[in-house]
Amino acid sequence: METTVETTGKEGKSWGGGNEPLRSSYGKMMMWFFIVSDALTFSGFLAAYGFSRFKFIESWPIADEVFTHVPFFHGSYPMIYVAFMTFILIMSSVTMVLAVDAGHHLNKTKVTWYMFFTIIGGIIFVGSQAWEWNTFIKGEYGAVQTKGGNILQFGKYTTVDDKETFQRVAVADFAQVVKTERVVHERKNGLWYETGAPMPKFTVNEVLEGLKANPEVLVRTQILTEEGHKTVLSRDESIKQITDNGKQVVHGANLHVNEYGAPIFADFFFFITGFHGFHVFSGIVINIIVFFNVILGTYEKRRSYEMVEKVGLYWHFVDLVWVFVFTFFYLV
């Protein structure tokens, strides 16, 4: 009479029901499902970035020339600031995993402190991201956009340590003021309550006059040479290009124009780092909620800090994505 309804031949089998075959709780499984799908979303974005880059492989901006700033320092320091940001994010990942570890030992004080440091790390990262955006939007040298949407930048050859190098020159440093007829349309004139677009800082004509007046200034196009540098035009070619094709002077980058090169580079930069930054931001918010729950003793009462572990998984994932963004935007 032993073999009744209760024994169905499934005892001791992992997938027979009534146990956790993957030895992972429901919440953690769901976090993993989310992470896998989010990873696919991010790789979709990065693959699209790769697509556009391969499409314009001969004229893609060189990241080293775009991201060269460090707060409070003048001069060109490519990579340094992003490396710092990467380190901050890895560091906050470490404090997060230490919080998880302390949670396994039910050590409330330690979990509280490690969660606190994780949140601080996240805030520093998002702040750095905002600063980076600000620098990118403001731009540095300015450039002329052609009718075909290409970018012409300016610079001159200077000798540094017996080596002739091409140094960029800002538009504002050589453009000449030319009197023009155009004035900003104000809302009190003509069509009421309509304001025209603000006047550009410089017109193409002013840049052209400045170029003619400064014989050492040359135009640099986006096209990469065999050695991976941007092509510098001759003096005659420079003036010809600006005269024939110059359409508008651009400063900095936004979703329409980008003084560093292809506008789609700026679009992807804003979109992907923005989407990642939003993940970091929501990670900070969730971390803060869990942090207060830790302080209030919610998990102490449950005798389980699994919630810290789950938010930790999310936080590490954000770090993981940044590792890839770092590689594909700043290194490769």
Long-range contacts from 174-183, C-beta under 8 angstroms, 24+ separation: 174/210, 174/211, 174/213, 174/214, 174/217, 175/202, 175/206, 175/207, 175/209, 175/210, 175/249, 176/206, 176/209, 176/210, 176/213, 177/206, 178/203, 178/205, 178/206, 178/209, 180/205
Q: Please identify, using beta-carbon distances, which residue of 54 and 72 lies nearer to other proteins.
A: 54
Q: Which residues contact 256 (CB under 8 A, 6 or more apart)?
A: 263
Contact residues: other proteins, CB under 8 A: 21-25, 28, 32, 35-36, 39-40, 43-44, 47-48, 50-58, 64, 78-80, 83, 86-87, 90-91, 93-94, 96-98, 100-101, 104, 146-150, 228, 245, 306, 309, 312-313, 316-317, 319-320, 323-324, 326-327, 330-332
Q: Please identify, using beta-carbon distances, which residue of 40 and 191 lies nearer to other proteins.
A: 40
Q: How far is the CB of 72 from other proteins (least distance, A)?
A: 20
Q: How far is the CB of 40 from other proteins (least distance, A)?
A: 6
The answer to whether the CB of 268 falls within 8 A of the CB of 303 is no
Q: Please identify, using beta-carbon distances, which residue of 146 and 169 lies nearer to other proteins.
A: 146
Q: Please identify, using beta-carbon distances, which residue of 21 and 274 lies nearer to other proteins.
A: 21
Q: How far is the CB of 143 from other proteins (least distance, A)?
A: 16
Q: How far is the CB of 94 from other proteins (least distance, A)?
A: 5
Q: Please identify, using beta-carbon distances, which residue of 47 and 177 lies nearer to other proteins.
A: 47
